[in-house]
Amino acid sequence: MTAFDTAWDLLKMPLIPSSLQEITSEKRPKLEGHFAPTRSYKAQFRDPVTNEILPLVVDYVNRLNSWGDQLHSYTGKIGDDKKGDRGKLRYEVPDKRQSITSVNWVSPWNLGNKAYPAWTETREGRRGRGYAPALYDVISYLMDKNQNVPLSPSTEQKASAKNMWKDRDRWPVRDDL
């Protein structure tokens, strides 16, 4: 990694430090086609180009799957949507979410206690601004703090994801959230 790479990575850290909080006091409805979140978290994201501050929300669901295994899932989004449906992983008009991701894993027999992103997408025009890394930063932090499970790269990645993960075997855990 060059000095430029380090400086660029620092520039693209748009999460506002110390803004992550659990939002247990807010009503958490059952998401359409999904289970109600066990816990929800909120942080603030500053777009490094527009300087706009957007909400970053992550929901955690812990339930038994159809085989009786414990299923864990973190679903995150940056931006608002009019429906308030944080669980859908597809954009719908007039959806205003700018980036979404989902991380799922089953315990205890989950391939070395690792979790992988099941879906990550950032809207065109917002790519390259740190949206997906910000979601990974929050989810990686929560996984480390709450389950002691690292966030590992998916085996199915587009070129942009491969570049973002570089040579990492796990996503780093930030200590300033």
Domain-embedded: residue 160 = yes
- Flag whether 94 is in a domain: yes
pLDDT of residue 112: 56
Task: Kindly state the helix (H) or strand (E) to which residue 8 belongs, with its residue range.
Answer: helix 3-11
Two tokens, residue 23: 């939002």
How many domains, in total, are found in the chain? Answer: 1
pTM of the model: 0.78
CATH number at residue 20: 3.40.630
Tokens of 41: 């978290």
The whole-number pLDDT of residue 174 equals 93
Quick one: how far is CA 129 from the chain centroid? 15
Residue 57 located in a structural domain: yes
pLDDT less than 50: residues of the chain: 8, 31-33, 82-94, 110-111
Residue 46, domain member (yes or no): yes
Is residue 174 domain-resident? no
**pLDDT value of position 67:** 76
Q: Classify residue 82: in a domain, yes or no.
A: yes
Q: Does residue 83 lie within any of the structural domains? A: yes
At residue 12, the pLDDT reads: 52
Q: What is the pLDDT of residue 19?
A: 95
The secondary element (H helix, E strand) that includes residue 133 is: helix 131-147
175 inside domain:
no
Cα 151 to Cα 36, 105, 118, 160, 168: the distances in Å are 23, 10, 11, 18, 10
Range of the domain at 45: 3-165
Where would I find the beta strands (DSSP E) of the chain?
A: 21-22, 39-46, 53-64, 70-78, 99-107, 116-122
Give the Cα separation of 155 and 152 in Å (integer): 9
pLDDT at 80: 74
